[in-house]
Structure 1
Amino acid sequence: MKIGIKFKLVSFIALLLLIVITLSSFLVLNGIKIYQNKEAENILLNQKDIFEQYLDENFNADSSKNNGKFELVRATLFNKPWLRTIPASIYDTNGNLLSGFKPDGKLNENNEKDIMIKYAIEGKISYKRDDNVLYFYSPIKYKNNTAAILELQYSTKESNNFYNNIKLMFYGTGSLSLIIGIILGFFYLSNFTKDIYTMRNSVKNIENGNFNNIEPLRRRDELGELSKGLIYMSNTIEKNIKELEVEKNILSRAVKKLQKMDKEQKEFIGNVTHEFKTPITAIKAYADVMGMYSNDISLIGNGTESISKECDRLTSMVDKILKLSALERYDFEIEKKEINIKDLIEQICLRMSGKIKKNKLTLDYKVDDINITADPDNLRHIIINLIDNAIKYNKSGGSIKLSCQKNEDTLQINVTDTGIGMSEEHLDKIFEPFYRVEPHRSSKTGGTGLGLALVENLVKKQKGTIKVNSTLSKGTSFSISLPL
């Protein structure tokens, strides 16, 4: 059976109070009893000394009349007022009663009187308690010899009544103190244990994941500090769980994405492997025919042109595989350094000018003279990809505009073309690997659906963002924001 902490604490306080009250009562009552005994002993010894002094002054040692014995002057002895305060009897050295006085007229009720008189004859003092009477026997000395035996009967009734009243008072006040102490302890511990139960419920709420049901304690002691610790622990656990859930979701999405990419990569590699055989077979066939008909100029010309086209196809396939491999680069491969963005873009535009002229397009660029810290290879790859897309999906006689400028604490790069554009339904998907807006259009331009996925990946590695706006048949605009 489970015993609650409140019951344990109240029981402990009750037991502690009981021990303290019992021990203090015992010590006080025992002290009172010892004091009463010493007081009675002092009174009796003092009475005995008075007897000895009086008898010493009034005894007559006349050996001729008393045969060598003392004669007690009884007529005057027991008429003394001081003697009437305590009942007394006097015996000779043979134990015979010489004289005595008691207020109630009874003499010598002690059943052990003879034994105690014998001790007194031997020079010893003895006591005996009997109900409310203390019997006292002592030798009376005269010139260092025992002349008689004194018996005193001291009433202890009054002191016993006093002791019993004190004992009852201690029992009463002790019991009352114990009850009051238990009641006060119960009410105090009720509030104390209530706070403990509150913290217990808080711990259970933490165990059950109810982190918002943690009740704080308004205390300025260790329980208050413990309550603050529970709240801090609850908030920390909740925060860690949320972070783990976010990481779990990210990891789950990453796993799904990797599974999808793995499937698409396998399909792509299978397709590329299959497509590699076609141009190689064609090149081998044209080479064999040209060897067989080396004098046929027309055949050699057609063969040379076909072999060139097949080589272009092989080159495009190799580029696709290289782009696919580029998606597997890791963040730690970024090597940032300070570069001048104007110089970098001018170099890229000069490099792309031949391809632009070949496709009968124009390129206008406006770039601010800004120094930034970034990975130059990644940045170069981003801009080349965007310009290359603007060339591929543009119209004959169209234009491309590139701008780069500082906007507060970011670098804004915009690439806009007047090409064929795309509908809104494709805008959220174009950054997915292997996604193609129109498969037949991508096959004409040699697209694999990896270019923009690579661009987005590289932008994110630079801690930047990329957005796209496009209108079908009117053109597309890409906007990149990179932190400075």
Structure 2
Amino acid sequence: MKHVKKIIKAVLIYLAFFISVGISWSAAYLLMIRIYDRFGRPSSEYLMQLYIVLVGIIISLILMLVFYKVIQGWERIFHKSIIDGIRRISKGDFNVVLEKNKDYGEFEGIVESINEMASELSRMETMRQDFISNVSHEIQSPLTSIRGFAHALQDETLSVANRRHYLNIIEAESVRLSGLSDNLLKLSALEAGSFPFEIKPYRLDKQLREMILASEPQWLRKNIEVEAELEEISMYAVEDLMSQVWTNLLHNSIKFTPQGGFINIRLQTREKRVEVVIRDSGIGIAEEDLPRIFERFYKVDKARSSSGGGSGLGLSLVKKIVEIHEGNVCVKSNPGEGTAFVVSLPVPIK
């Protein structure tokens, strides 16, 4: 389409040139004939034709100059709109959309790039504002609780039981605040590539078994049946980071699985990949929430997540760690039918 536009533009330019030449010679001929009729003809036919040619050249140059000035004026308008758009972006206004129906010629690619850049910067600015808003909200909630219960502890008439209860809440909120800070620092370090990675071989099945046993108090408290089908597999990865993945996914399943439910953890080699599936009989996730499940601070059930101490960073951390190991993680779920998180990793080198 762009090539067709260029061809049409070139044809129009040549056509305009020939038309202007034709008009110039016709005007020169008519003008000189009138002059000759009024003031007399030159002494020779050669001089008469020479004068017509000179006048025709002068008129052609004048027409070309006018044509050039018109084109230059159009280009100035286009240049001004492009410069104004860049200037607005530099000042933080990302709602810039340069009209695509204008003929920018060779600057059309620049215009498209500016529109794409403005759109991407607008999206990033929205994400930044949402991130700041979410961080402020997540920090403010535990701080409000800590401040409120710390003030309540100043009441000397409080019973020992109430005092102990308030102190437990303050401790729990402090742990929650510390966890939020720790997760934010980990995400920042992972994205910057400054996390001290130490890839080494270890038994993935053994690691998963240890994570299941470490979370035993939580799933026993809810009378959840946990099954593990773990193929013996050695893995090359950052062991500490991968333990964070399994801890977050297991705790997530336990949190949203009701009393008497079940959780199944399966590890196997499948289609030249190591696959870990953590399936539960929990409340499930609505279809519209699935695409956003790994976003920072996104909570499917905000009330339940808040009460459970979640910050909405766990799954973001899981996704980032898995991607660092050249793997991928996905979720399959339906409301009321449970959820399955599938982590796929490269087969370790033998």
Tell me if both proteins adopt one fold, taking TM over 0.5 as the criterion: yes
2:186 aligned partner: 326
Match of residue 267, structure 1, among 133, 136, 146: 133
2:4 aligned partner: none
How far is the alpha carbon of 1:256 from its aligned partner?
5.9
Verify the 8 A CA contact 1:261 1:433 in the aligned structure 2: no
2:146 aligned partner: 280
Counterpart residue identity of residue 144, structure 2 = T
Matched, 1:315 2:210: no
Distance 1:252 1:321, change over 3 A: farther
1:204 aligned partner: none
Verify the 8 A CA contact 1:264 1:434 in the aligned structure 2: no
Match of residue 263, structure 2, among 376, 400, 403: 400
User: What do the CA deviations read for 1:214-256 (whole angstroms, capped 9, x no partner)?
Assistant: xxxxxxxxxxxxxxxxxxxxxxxxxxxxxxx99x989985x66
Report 1:244-255 matches (<5 A).
Answer: none
How far is the alpha carbon of 1:329 from its aligned partner?
2.0
Distance 1:249 1:310, change over 3 A: same
How far is the alpha carbon of 1:351 from its aligned partner?
0.9
Verify the 8 A CA contact 2:274 2:346 in the aligned structure 1: yes
For 1:472, what is the secondary structure of its paired residue? coil
Gaps of 5+ in 2: 1-111
Distance 1:423 1:284, change over 3 A: closer
Match of residue 232, structure 2, among 350, 366, 369: 369
Q: Distance in 1 between matches of 2:276 and 2:163?
A: 45
Matched, 1:305 2:165: yes
User: What do the CA deviations read for 1:378-430 (whole angstroms, capped 9, x no partner)?
Assistant: 21111111101001111111111101111242100000000000111111111
Percent identity between the two aligned chains: 25
Q: Distance in 2 between matches of 1:273 and 1:311?
A: 15
Distance 1:338 1:420, change over 3 A: same
Verify the 8 A CA contact 1:282 1:307 in the aligned structure 2: no
Verify the 8 A CA contact 1:414 1:479 in the aligned structure 2: yes
Gaps of 5+ in 1: 1-244
Counterpart residue identity of residue 171, structure 2 = C
Q: Distance in 2 between matches of 1:311 and 1:441?
A: 20
User: What do the CA deviations read for 1:13-49 (whole angstroms, capped 9, x no partner)?
Assistant: xxxxxxxxxxxxxxxxxxxxxxxxxxxxxxxxxxxxx
Verify the 8 A CA contact 2:326 2:345 in the aligned structure 1: yes
Aligned residue pair count:
232
Match of residue 469, structure 1, among 321, 332, 349: 332
Verify the 8 A CA contact 2:146 2:173 in the aligned structure 1: no
Counterpart residue identity of residue 367, structure 1 = L
Distance 1:436 1:259, change over 3 A: same
Counterpart residue identity of residue 346, structure 1 = R
Q: Distance in 2 between matches of 1:256 and 1:388?
A: 35
How far is the alpha carbon of 1:275 from its aligned partner?
2.8
How far is the alpha carbon of 1:282 from its aligned partner?
2.8
Distance 1:348 1:423, change over 3 A: same
- When the two chains are superposed, the root-mean-square deviation of aligned CA atoms in Å is 2.6
Match of residue 440, structure 1, among 288, 303, 308: 303
How far is the alpha carbon of 1:453 from its aligned partner?
1.3
Verify the 8 A CA contact 1:279 1:311 in the aligned structure 2: no
Q: Distance in 1 between matches of 2:329 and 2:274?
A: 12
For 1:427, what is the secondary structure of its paired residue? helix
Verify the 8 A CA contact 2:262 2:280 in the aligned structure 1: yes
Verify the 8 A CA contact 2:290 2:331 in the aligned structure 1: yes
Distance 1:480 1:252, change over 3 A: farther
> Greater strand percent: which structure?
1
2:15 aligned partner: none
Provide the TM-score with structure 2 as the length reference: 0.61
Verify the 8 A CA contact 2:149 2:170 in the aligned structure 1: yes
Q: Distance in 1 between matches of 2:283 and 2:139?
A: 31
How far is the alpha carbon of 1:431 from its aligned partner?
1.1
How far is the alpha carbon of 1:439 from its aligned partner?
1.8
For 1:428, what is the secondary structure of its paired residue? helix
Verify the 8 A CA contact 2:250 2:278 in the aligned structure 1: yes
Q: Which is greater in Rg?
A: 1
Verify the 8 A CA contact 1:464 1:481 in the aligned structure 2: yes
For 2:291, what is the secondary structure of its paired residue? coil
> Greater helix percent: which structure?
2
Q: Distance in 2 between matches of 1:383 and 1:347?
A: 10
Distance 1:345 1:357, change over 3 A: same
User: What do the CA deviations read for 1:424-465 (whole angstroms, capped 9, x no partner)?
Assistant: 111111111111112222222222221111111111111111
Q: Distance in 1 between matches of 2:315 and 2:151?
A: 37
1:66 aligned partner: none
Verify the 8 A CA contact 2:253 2:280 in the aligned structure 1: yes
Q: Distance in 2 between matches of 1:373 and 1:408?
A: 18
For 1:372, what is the secondary structure of its paired residue? strand
Verify the 8 A CA contact 2:211 2:247 in the aligned structure 1: yes
Verify the 8 A CA contact 2:285 2:339 in the aligned structure 1: yes
Distance 1:443 1:287, change over 3 A: same
